[in-house]
Structure 1
Amino acid sequence: MQTIDLRGRTLSGAELRAALPRPELDVTAAVAGASALIDEVRAHGEQALIDQATRFDGVTPEYVRATEAEIADAVAGLDPMVRAALEEMITRVRKASAAQVPPPATTQVAPGAVIEQRWQPVDRVGLYVPGGKAVYPSSVVMNVVPAQVAGVASIAIASPPQADHGGRIHPTILAAAGLLGVSEVYAMGGAGAIGALAYGVPGIGLESVDVITGPGNVWVAAAKRAVQSVVGIDAEAGPTEILIIADGTADVEYVAADLLGQAEHDELAGSVLVTTDADFAERVLVAVERRTNATKHRERAATALRGEQSAIVLVDDLATACRVSNAYGPEHLEIQTADDEATLAGITNAGAIFVGPYAPVPLGDYVAGSNHVLPTGGSSAHASGLGAYTFLRAQQLIRYDREALAEVRDRIRAIAVDEDLPAHGESVDARFDGTAREESAN
């Protein structure tokens, strides 16, 4: 891992962001290609999806939509320990997601003048579950549960067909869908799948959705950007990342294990340690190398750790460490310091924050109850992770009686005239003009 030494330097927010490690990822460059794949699906439907699976997934699925029998068989064949883990995950994520649904609220702004705030779920959502270097039944849970908690009535899942499973969806993903009661699952991946969800494919019974969520590769991110005028999206997810703030009191092995755990995901995964202790940093480097050499996906992890997106960042103090973290805006932030709560007080930007030595990121990936679909690439500065609120729309109901409207009648007219929109004022006057009302009745 490279070392970035910021000690003795006072940098602005922009200078910090420029100094910190990031992967090279150009979503814009992929938009044209993603749009072409979407157009193929719009023009040729299921056949385009099958052709794209042949080109990109190395397998030709016989059909795209999974049958109910396939889903039932997948549930029946699920390893009991995996099933127990998924069911525990579902329970905990459901509990945490329920807290994300705001209660309706009523505000009386004046006698007879009431504004009601309600939260209405979208009608239908499409959930993308990636299927590249790993299998992600956990992503099924993380996408489906908050949508169900929000009250979404119709849910469709898309996941790439697997060459190792005869062009069908990985059975563990199908089983997770089955455990959640989702029966509409499609073997399709990449940009074409996003286009299919956005525009629908009548030939396979796939109706268009209102919102698309779920992580994916650069083509999925580009496709989301391409369809954003048609549907809502959660985010343009990029490579996963972790930033750990640690001082010399942290456990070297814990920190090294957590950096490696994130690097295991992908060659572009980012692992960043920000520390005030140079000796601690050296010991972490030794532990990371030892652990990397012993892990199953050592080549993938080593590539990620050597990449420009991973680094150890040396700072003068924990206040600066917090500034560095906020500038980076990590997807996953771990805090392992002598006073974790004091350090936490300095944090504003992060997708999810794991506080203390016994809250590693994999806890959040699986059974913490939090959601693991989180903003990447610094977007936690302006975006939230996936939650029930992703599938909700705020609606305002306005209720005024005659007296309450009469009280503000002159003010409405004054503003309407000032904006040169006199019919706005006349709309209100009509309710108090007895002659006009009688003529209208006749």
Structure 2
Amino acid sequence: MKKVINPPKSEWLKLLERSTQTVEAIEEKVIAIFNDVKQNGDKAVRQYTTMFDKVELEDLFVSAEEIIEAEQLVSDELKEAICVAKTNITAFHAAQKTAKVAIETTEGVACWQEKRPIQKVGLYIPGGTAPLFSTVLMLATPANIAGCKEILLASPPNKQGKIHPAIIYAAQQCGVTKILKVGGIQAIAAMTFGTESIPQVYKIFGPGNQFVTVAKQLATKFGVAIDMPAGPSELLVVADDSANASFVASDLLSQAEHGTDSQVILVSTSKEKIIEVEQEIESQLQALSRKEIAIKAIENSKLIYVESKEIALNMINEYGPEHFIVCTQTNDFYVDGIENAGSVFIGDYTPESAGDYASGTNHTLPTNGYTKAYSGVNLDSFLKAISFQKISEKGIQNIGKTIEVLAGEEGLDAHKNAVTLRLNSLK
């Protein structure tokens, strides 16, 4: 990891760059695949699956037999762990339900807001080097709580045309209605347009590589909503002299092993702690099964020393990390001051892994600095707020003149007339 000492603020933007390709470098390929899938449907989806995943699929969907087989392949220990995690995720997201908001703004003018589920949602679950069945729990659980009628899950198949059994099992536990054995750009395109066999959805959720991220952003041009821009994983830890170097190193490596394009950063007010953490990383790295992936991620990662907690907080808010771990003697300073972060982990015994799996919070979070404007996935992500109003005769008499004046000033005579006619009928 690159060590940086007291970088001036003028260099922060360059220093904190992510190792992502530009949208322009990817978009041309994404658009070509989108156009092909739009025109040729299932045929194009099959062709790209063969091209990218090296498998020819007879059926694009997981069959009933495959669901039974998957359940048998998942160990009892993993089933129990999935159950515990789902229970905690359910508890946290069910608690986010809000009651109808109702008010009489003026006598006779009743206004209220109610939430309705998005009817059709698509959940993208990465497969690849790490099949993220935990993401199934994070997306399908709140979708089910919200009451989404159609929950389509898409995940890339292996070379045998199979989906990881734990992904299938988790999907069944969380109310997924269909499991699509398709990944990558072609999966996002299929869910955007719909094909002969794949239903179109109204909103797409889930993390993915840079191609999937750009594909999701392109989907919005065709009237499909997305949860957020969510690309390669990232983590920032802030630590001082009080931090446990072993814990900090383990957290940094836990994100580095996600993928070669992941990024981890340590910001510290202690030069000694930086050295300790660096030594721990080297030591712990040797035992990792995904060592080579972590090494490549670390190449674009940083160990940054700053002189004060105030400078550290300013830098962290400028970066806007997906995951933010606080291990200092002044945790409250950072917790109260953080403005841009996807999810915050506080204290020595709160590893980022807890949020990834089983504490109950959602791990589908904005990356690449989008925390400055986007929230992570939550129950409201699967809901729409609809406003209602009902005005009585007394109510239209109370606010009618106001509407007439406002509409008249904007030159919208038909708007004004819609009120005037009603007022005249009550004379």
Q: Which moved more, 1:333-342 or 1:360-369?
A: 333-342
CA contact (8 A) 2:144 2:174 kept: no
C-alpha deviation, 1:80, in angstroms? 0.8
CA contact (8 A) 2:151 2:175 kept: no
C-alpha deviation, 1:390, in angstroms? 0.8
Q: Does the alignment pair 1:176 with 2:176?
A: no
Mapped to 1, the partners of 2:48 and 2:215 lie a distance apart of 14
Structure 2 residue aligned with 1:87, among 83, 86, 100? 83
Structure 1 residue aligned with 2:280, among 269, 278, 287? 287
Aligned residue for 1:160, secondary structure, equals coil
Structure 2 residue aligned with 1:194, among 171, 188, 193? 188
Q: What amino acid maps onto 1:210 in structure 2?
A: Y
C-alpha deviation, 1:75, in angstroms? 1.7
Unaligned stretches of 5+ residues in structure 1: 438-442
CA contact (8 A) 2:269 2:307 kept: yes
Mapped to 2, the partners of 1:434 and 1:264 lie a distance apart of 71
Aligned length: 426
Q: Does the alignment pair 1:372 with 2:363?
A: yes
What per-residue deviation string (whole Å, max 9, x for no partner) do you get for residues 166-210 of structure 1? 1122222111112223241110011110011111122x2x22111
C-alpha deviation, 1:152, in angstroms? 0.9
Unaligned stretches of 5+ residues in structure 2: none
Aligned residue for 2:326, secondary structure, equals strand
Mapped to 2, the partners of 1:252 and 1:434 lie a distance apart of 77
Aligned structure 1 segments of 4 or more residues deviating by more than 6 angstroms: none
Q: Does the alignment pair 1:209 with 2:201?
A: yes
Q: Does the alignment pair 1:263 with 2:259?
A: no
CA contact (8 A) 2:152 2:178 kept: yes
RMSD, aligned CA: 1.6
Mapped to 2, the partners of 1:107 and 1:320 lie a distance apart of 45
Mapped to 2, the partners of 1:337 and 1:434 lie a distance apart of 70
Corresponding residue for 2:403? Answer: 412
Aligned residue for 2:286, secondary structure, equals helix
Q: Does the alignment pair 1:336 with 2:330?
A: no
CA contact (8 A) 1:31 1:225 kept: no
Corresponding residue for 1:440? Answer: none
CA contact (8 A) 2:341 2:372 kept: yes
Corresponding residue for 1:157? Answer: 153
Q: Does the alignment pair 1:354 with 2:332?
A: no
What per-residue deviation string (whole Å, max 9, x for no partner) do you get for residues 31-87 of structure 1? 221121122222222222221111101121222011122112212321111111111
Mapped to 2, the partners of 1:5 and 1:413 lie a distance apart of 64
> Normalising by structure 2, what TM-score?
0.96
CA contact (8 A) 2:144 2:175 kept: no
Corresponding residue for 2:3? Answer: 3
Mapped to 1, the partners of 2:411 and 2:353 lie a distance apart of 59
C-alpha deviation, 1:17, in angstroms? 3.0
Mapped to 2, the partners of 1:404 and 1:367 lie a distance apart of 51
Corresponding residue for 2:385? Answer: 394
Structure 1 residue aligned with 2:316, among 301, 325, 330? 325
Mapped to 2, the partners of 1:398 and 1:28 lie a distance apart of 45
Mapped to 1, the partners of 2:117 and 2:216 lie a distance apart of 20
What per-residue deviation string (whole Å, max 9, x for no partner) do you get for residues 225-251 of structure 1? 211032110122111000001001000
Q: What amino acid maps onto 1:411 in structure 2?
A: T
Q: What amino acid maps onto 1:59 in structure 2?
A: V
C-alpha deviation, 1:217, in angstroms? 1.1
Corresponding residue for 1:42? Answer: 38
What per-residue deviation string (whole Å, max 9, x for no partner) do you get for residues 344-379 of structure 1? 112111100000011101111100101110010111
C-alpha deviation, 1:18, in angstroms? 3.3
C-alpha deviation, 1:92, in angstroms? 0.8
Aligned residue for 1:312, secondary structure, equals strand
Q: Does the alignment pair 1:222 with 2:214?
A: yes
Q: Which moved more, 1:402-411 or 1:22-31?
A: 22-31
Mapped to 1, the partners of 2:238 and 2:294 lie a distance apart of 21
Q: Which moved more, 1:119-128 or 1:46-55?
A: 46-55
C-alpha deviation, 1:4, in angstroms? 1.9
Structure 1 vs Structure 2: percent identity of aligned residues? 33
CA contact (8 A) 1:244 1:273 kept: yes
Aligned residue for 2:422, secondary structure, equals coil
> Normalising by structure 1, what TM-score?
0.93
Aligned residue for 1:228, secondary structure, equals helix
Corresponding residue for 2:126? Answer: 130
C-alpha deviation, 1:21, in angstroms? 4.0
Q: What amino acid maps onto 1:357 in structure 2?
A: D
Q: What amino acid maps onto 2:179 in structure 1?
A: V
Q: Which moved more, 1:262-271 or 1:102-111?
A: 102-111
Aligned residue for 1:294, secondary structure, equals coil
CA contact (8 A) 1:72 1:178 kept: no
Matches within 5 A, 1:20-169: 20-163=16-159, 166-169=160-163
